[in-house]
Amino acid sequence: MILYLAYILLFILIFFTGAFFLFKSSTPRNFSEFLMELELIWIGLETNVEDMMYGPCYNKVSLYPQSSSVAVLTGGNRGIGLCILKKLLQCEMTVILGVRNIEAARKSVESYIDSSLLMNKVIYETCDTGDMSSVREFAKRVQERCRGINLLINNAGIMSPPFKLTKDGFETQMAVNHIGHFLLTHLLMPQLISDGKESGRTSRIVSVASCSHLGGKIKYDDFNCTKNYHPGKAYCDSKLAQIMFTNHLHKMCEEKSWNIQPYSCHPGLVNTGIFENIAAGSINWFRKILMKTPEQGSRSVIYAAIAPEIESNGGVYITNCRPSKISKIAKDDAECQKLFSFTCGLLKIKNFGIE
Ligand SMILES: NC(=O)c1ccc[n+]([C@@H]2O[C@H](COP(=O)([O-])OP(=O)(O)OC[C@H]3O[C@@H](n4cnc5c(N)ncnc54)[C@H](OP(=O)(O)O)[C@@H]3O)[C@@H](O)[C@H]2O)c1
C-alpha cells in the first residue's frame, strides 16, 4: 500500500516536473503542440513507472558463450550501444562496429572495455546511418569480411534535433533511425540468411526502438514533416517506423522460410547523451534519479539478441526483458506492409533482401 502511494506521488512529481520544463523550453508553439508534448510526457511517465515496477524483477539477461557468432552493431561507441558491445564480447562474439568516427570510437571502447575482452574481436568500420551511400559502403565492407552474420543490432539513433534534411532528402531522424537501418538490413540479408542456413542456427535482427513509438504516426502526405515539424513527434514517428518494419520483416521471413527472427525493443528510459536536445534532459539529477543506467538499458537489447526462450517468438517487442505492448497501428499488418513498400520505394529497392 505504502509502495503504491509512493509510486503515485512520484508519478505526480514527475508529471509536474516534466510539465514545468516543457513550459520553460522553446516549444510548444501552440496549443496543439502543448497537448502533443503532454502526451509525450505521459508516455515517458508510464514507461518510467513500468521500469520501476518490473525492472528489479525482470530486467535481467543471462549471457552465454557463442564464440563462432559474428554480430554487426551500429552506434556502439557510447551510451547503450557501448554496453551492448561489452555484453556481446562477454558472449565471445566477434563484433563489427558501424560508427561515424573510428578513432573516437576506438578510444571510447578501449577506455570502457577491458583489453582481455577485446582481443581483436572488435572490427571498426565507418557507417553514418543518415547517409545512404555510407550505409551502402559499410554493407559492402561487411560482406567482404564475412560470409555469414548471426546478429544485426540496429542501435544508432538521434532524438529531437532541429529540422534538417539529409543529403538524400530525408528528415534526419527518420533517416538515421529508420531508413538507414532499413537499407542496411536489406543489404545484409544474404549474409544473415546464409548464416542461418549453414549453421542451422537462427540469425536475429534487433531494432532498438522506443516506447515513444506509442505517440508516433506515419504521415505519407508529409513524410519529411516539412509542414509542421515537431522534433519530439518526429522522433516518435521514426521509432514507430522501426517497429512496423520489424513486424513486416518477421512476416516476410516466415513466408520465405528465411531462418531469421527479427525483434524490436525498448531499452527503458536511460541516462545517456541522447537527451541533449530535450529541456528536462539537461537536468542531471532528474536523469540520475529517474532513469536506468546504460548498462541496465542494454539488457533488453541483449535479451532480444540472444535469449533462447524467445527463439520461436520473432516479431515481439521487448522491454524489461519481456514482451510488451505495441501501438495499434504497429500491430496492423496492412499498415506495416504499406510502410515497408513505401520505404522500399524511397530507396528504390525492388526485391527486399535480394536486390
Ligand atoms: N536513452 C534512452 O532513454 C532511450 C530510450 C529508448 C530508445 N533509445 C534508443 O537507444 C538507441 C541508443 O541510444 P542512446 O540512448 O545510447 O543514445 P546516445 O548515447 O546518444 O548514443 C547514440 C549512438 O548512436 C550513434 N549515432 C547517432 N547518429 C548516428 C549516425 N548518423 N550514424 C551512425 N551512428 C550514429 C552515436 O554515435 P556518435 O558518437 O557518432 O554520435 C552513438 O553511438 C537509440 O536508437 C535510441 O533511440 C534510447
Establish if 106 belongs to a structural domain. Answer: yes
Establish if 41 belongs to a structural domain. Answer: yes
Q: Does 73 lie in the same domain as 22? A: no
Identity (one letter) of the amino acid at 266?
H
C-alpha 4 – ligand 1 centre gap (Å)? 33
Q: Which of 10, 29, 56 is the last residue of a domain?
A: 56
Per-residue confidence (pLDDT) for residue 155, from 0 to 100: 98
Paired residues of 124 in beta bridges? 97
Establish if 160 belongs to a structural domain. Answer: yes
| Range of the structural domain that residue 45 is part of | 2-56
Residue keyed to cell 509502495: 3
Q: Does 232 lie in the same domain as 329? A: yes
Establish if 301 belongs to a structural domain. Answer: yes
Q: Whose CA is nearest to atom 37 of ligand 1?
A: 75
C-alpha 6 – ligand 1 centre gap (Å)? 32
Residue-wise pLDDT for 90-140, tens only, equals: 999 999 999 999 999 999 999 999 999 999 899 999 999 999 999 999 999
Q: Which of 34, 56, 78 is the last residue of a domain?
A: 56
Q: Does 16 lie in the same domain as 144? A: no
Residue of 71, 265, 68, 89 whose CA lies nearest to 151: 71
Which residues participate in catalysis according to the annotation?
229
Establish if 353 belongs to a structural domain. Answer: no
Q: Does 36 lie in the same domain as 90? A: no
Q: Does 70 lie in the same domain as 213? A: yes
Establish if 296 belongs to a structural domain. Answer: yes
Per-residue confidence (pLDDT) for residue 276, from 0 to 100: 84
With vertex at residue 15, the alpha carbon angle to CA 331 and CA 41, rounded to the nearest 5 degrees, is: 35
Spell out which residues line ligand 1, taking CB within 6 angstroms.
74-75, 77-81, 100-101, 127-130, 155-159, 176, 208, 210, 266-267, 269-270, 272-274
Q: Does 214 lie in the same domain as 89? A: yes
Question: 117 with 335: CB under 8 angstroms?
Answer: no
Q: Does 45 lie in the same domain as 73? A: no
Q: Looking at the 3D structure of the chain, how many domains does it have?
A: 2
Q: What is the 3-state secondary structure (H, E, C) of the chain?
A: CHHHHHHHHHHHHHHHHHHHHHHHCCCCCCHHHHHHHHHHHHHHHHHHHHHHHHHHHHCCCCCCCCCCCEEEEECCCCHHHHHHHHHHHHCCCEEEEEECCHHHHHHHHHHHCCHHHHCCCEEEEECCCCCHHHHHHHHHHHHHHCCCCCEEEECCCCCCCCCCECCCCCEHHHHHHHHHHHHHHHHHHHHHHHHHHHHCCCEEEEEECCHHHHHCCCCHHHCCCCCCCCHHHHHHHHHHHHHHHHHHHHHHHHHCCCCEEEEEEECCCECCHHHHHCCHHHCHHHHHHHCECHHHHHHHHHHHHHCHHHCCCCCCEEECCEECCCCHHHHCHHHHHHHHHHHHHHHCCCCCCCC
List the chain pLDDT tens, one digit each, 355 residues: 666 666 666 666 666 555 555 544 556 677 777 788 888 888 988 888 889 889 999 999 999 999 999 999 999 999 999 999 999 999 999 999 999 999 999 999 999 999 999 998 999 999 999 999 999 999 999 999 998 999 999 999 999 999 999 999 999 999 999 999 999 999 999 999 987 666 677 999 999 999 999 999 999 999 999 988 999 999 999 999 999 999 999 999 999 999 999 999 999 999 999 988 877 666 777 788 889 999 999 999 999 999 999 998 999 999 999 999 999 999 999 999 999 999 999 999 999 998 7
Q: Which of 56, 74, 89 is the last residue of a domain?
A: 56
Per-residue confidence (pLDDT) for residue 39, from 0 to 100: 86
**φ and ψ at 98, to 5 degrees?**
-95, 110
In a 13 Å sphere around the CA of 110, the CA atoms on its Cβ side amount to: 10
Q: Does 77 lie in the same domain as 35? A: no
Q: Does 216 lie in the same domain as 77? A: yes
**φ and ψ at 198, to 5 degrees?**
-70, -40
Q: Does 280 lie in the same domain as 324? A: yes
Residue-wise pLDDT for 145-186, tens only, equals: 998 999 999 999 999 999 999 999 999 999 999 999 999 999
Which CATH number do you get for residue 317?
3.40.50.720
Q: Whose CA is nearest to atom 47 of ligand 1?
A: 157
Identity (one letter) of the amino acid at 58?
Y
d(CA 90, CA 297): 16
Ligand 1 probe mutation, 43, 100, 167, most atoms within 8 A of CB: 100
Establish if 25 belongs to a structural domain. Answer: yes
C-alpha 33 – ligand 1 centre gap (Å)? 25
C-alpha 31 – ligand 1 centre gap (Å)? 30
Q: Does 130 lie in the same domain as 40? A: no
**φ and ψ at 33, to 5 degrees?**
-70, -35
Question: 300 with 266: CB under 8 angstroms?
Answer: yes
Establish if 355 belongs to a structural domain. Answer: no
Q: Does 139 lie in the same domain as 46? A: no
Residue of 144, 121, 223 whose CA lies nearest to 178: 223
Across the beta sheet with 317-319, the strand order is: 122-126, 94-99, 70-74, 151-154, 203-208, 260-266, 317-319, 322-323
The model carries a pTM of 0.93
Hey, how many other C-beta atoms are within 10 angstroms of the C-beta on 259? 17
